[in-house]
């Protein structure tokens, strides 16, 4: 009896105006817009996560540098304590190489200017590497709404054609094209908003990293210009307690 009642129950009406139905009605243009926006979205998230990994790595290198580098007796000893492919190691190695190359110059150039230019070039190369991929995020954030708008315009155009053919604006005639148009708008915004947020966030983190690299470069330049007499305040403060603790031991 129950089986007969269930069999006699009317089947649920099928939705003819869903996402996939609207895409099928849109044809090649709708699928092309969807493919382009999908590629933009996937590439944006790939850049976001890869840049986050790269930035976190440089930030950890900065923490390691502050705890070990300035405790060394010389730049070469300090560089040996840093990671081989560290951004801070690159600055120190380039500074040491520039100091060695200065003696080979036949045209007299101020050592400070030569070292400053070499360290600045090294710092700029690191900044350029950190900024790789960010222009693509800006491009996606700026263009994806218009790509979605293109699909919206085509959907509205198709709706107007159906109205003209039917002679009246019935819901069943225009629901598909209008739904397609709204979907294209939503997809464009859904791709643009995360890309813009990621771009601004990564740019802010890059700015903080650049400030840290600039401060470190200035400290290295001051150290080299003073033959090791000038060190960062944190390094000098850490050296004083060590000297005080060594003094009682010497008295004993």
SS in 3 state form for 44-100? HHHHHHHHHHHHHHHHHHHHHHHHHHHHCCCHHHHHHHCCCCCHHHHHHHHHHHHHH
Q: What's the chain's average pLDDT? A: 79
H helix or E strand, kind and range, residue 182: helix 171-225
Residue 145 is predicted with a pLDDT of 92
Q: What is the mean pLDDT of residues 142-146?
A: 92
Reduced to 3 states, what is the DSSP secondary structure of residue 23?
Answer: helix
Token pair belonging to 170:
């019935």
31-74 confidence digits (pLDDT tens): 888 889 999 999 999 999 999 999 999 999 888 888 888 888 88
Q: Residue 153: exposed, middle, or buried by beta-carbon count in 10 A (0-12, 13-18, 19+)?
A: middle
Closest to 179 in 3D by CA, of 30, 41, 39: 30
Token pair belonging to 211:
């400030």
Q: Residue 72: exposed, middle, or buried by beta-carbon count in 10 A (0-12, 13-18, 19+)?
A: middle
Backbone angles phi, psi at 218, to 5 degrees: -65, -40
Lowest mean pLDDT among 51-55, 88-92, 164-168: 164-168
Q: What is the pTM of this model?
A: 0.76
Q: How far apart are alpha carbons 198 and 212 in whole angstroms?
A: 21
184-216 confidence digits (pLDDT tens): 888 889 999 999 999 999 999 999 999 999 999
Q: How far apart are alpha carbons 221 and 219 in whole angstroms?
A: 5
Q: What is the mean pLDDT of residues 77-99?
A: 87
Q: Which residues contact 224 (CB under 8 A, 6 or more apart)?
A: 75, 95, 99, 115
Query: 98-124 as b/e, with b when 16 or more CB fall inside 10 Å?
Result: beeeeeeeeeeeeeeeebbebbeebbe
pLDDT at 174 exceeding the cut of 90: no
For 203, other C-beta atoms within 10 Å of its C-beta total 14
Token pair belonging to 127:
């900044």
Token pair belonging to 38:
């999908």
How large a percentage of the chain has pLDDT more than 90?
Answer: 31
């Amino acid at each position: 009896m129950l089986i007969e009642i269930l069999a006699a129950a009317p089947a649920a009406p099928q939705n003819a105006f869903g996402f996939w139905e609207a895409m099928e009605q849109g044809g090649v243009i709708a699928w092309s817009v969807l493919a382009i926006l999908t590629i933009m979205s996937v590439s944006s998230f790939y850049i976001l996560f890869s840049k986050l990994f790269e930035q976190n790595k440089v930030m950890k290198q900065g923490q390691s540098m502050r705890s070990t580098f300035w405790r060394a007796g010389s730049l070469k000893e300090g560089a040996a304590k840093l990671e081989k492919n560290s951004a801070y190691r690159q600055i120190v190695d380039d500074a040491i190489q520039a100091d060695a190359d200065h003696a080979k110059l036949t045209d007299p150039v101020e050592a400070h200017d030569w070292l400053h230019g070499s360290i600045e070039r090294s710092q700029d190369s690191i900044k350029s590497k950190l900024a790789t991929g960010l222009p693509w995020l800006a491009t996606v954030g700026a263009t994806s709404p218009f790509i979605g708008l293109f699909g919206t315009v085509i959907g509205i155009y198709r709706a107007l054609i159906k109205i003209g053919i039917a002679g009246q604006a019935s819901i069943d005639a225009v629901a598909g094209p209008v739904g397609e148009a709204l979907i294209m708008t939503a997809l464009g915004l859904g791709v643009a908003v995360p890309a813009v947020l990621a771009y601004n966030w990564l740019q802010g983190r890059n700015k903080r990293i650049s400030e840290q690299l600039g401060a470190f470069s200035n400290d290295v330049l001051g150290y080299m210009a003073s033959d090791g007499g000038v060190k960062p305040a944190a390094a000098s403060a850490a050296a004083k307690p060590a000297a005080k603790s060594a003094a009682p031991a010497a008295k004993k």
